[in-house]
Amino acid sequence: MKNLKKYNKNFQRDVKWYLSMRNILNFDGCSEYINKKGKSIIIYDKNGVNGIEAFFQYDSNGIIKPTKHVNLLYTLLKVKGSVNLHIKMYSEDRAKNILSLSELKELSETFKAPEWFYLSVEKQKLKYKQII
């Protein structure tokens, strides 16, 4: 994607992965995305920024920018939320010894996930072990 070149390599990698997973990791439990004031964070404006820039600003800086690509922004938010939900579930399962390390590695390979996905599960596992 040529419009990703202005972003750092980690953001480029993550956006490409999120988009590749949009048909697999697409449930995050949210029906709409609202801010703390109860307003939608997905705002259409035909003169707004592109969807990737809107996602970058929200994800990196917490800034809501109107976008001309609401479907792209929605997809990126949905997949990121789903990834976070999966990390939480896998972490809990790792803490309870329901999911083995080899199974987690296999899932990560199946998803072609960046290394941070696996590392996040393992890091959060420690938090859940303290709760159990």
For the chain, the domains span 2-131
pLDDT of 1 reads 61
pLDDT of 2 reads 64
Who contacts 64 (Cβ-Cβ below 8 Å, separation ≥6)?
A: 35, 41, 43, 54, 57, 58
Average pLDDT taken over every residue of the chain = 93
Query: Could you say which DSSP state residue 61 is in?
Result: I
pTM of the model: 0.91
pLDDT of 56 reads 97
Q: Which residue shows structure tokens 């609202």?
A: 34
| Degrees to nearest 5, angle at CA 124 with 90 and 87 | 35
Q: How many CB atoms lie within 10 A of CB 104?
A: 19
Q: How many CB atoms lie within 10 A of CB 122?
A: 15
pLDDT digit string, tens, across residues 64-112:
899 999 999 999 999 999 999 999 999 999 999 999 999 999 999 999 9
CA torsion sign, 32 to 58 to 85 to 106?
A: positive
Residue pair 4/15 in contact by the 8 Å Cβ criterion: yes
Q: Look up residue 83 and give its two tokens.
A: 């990834």
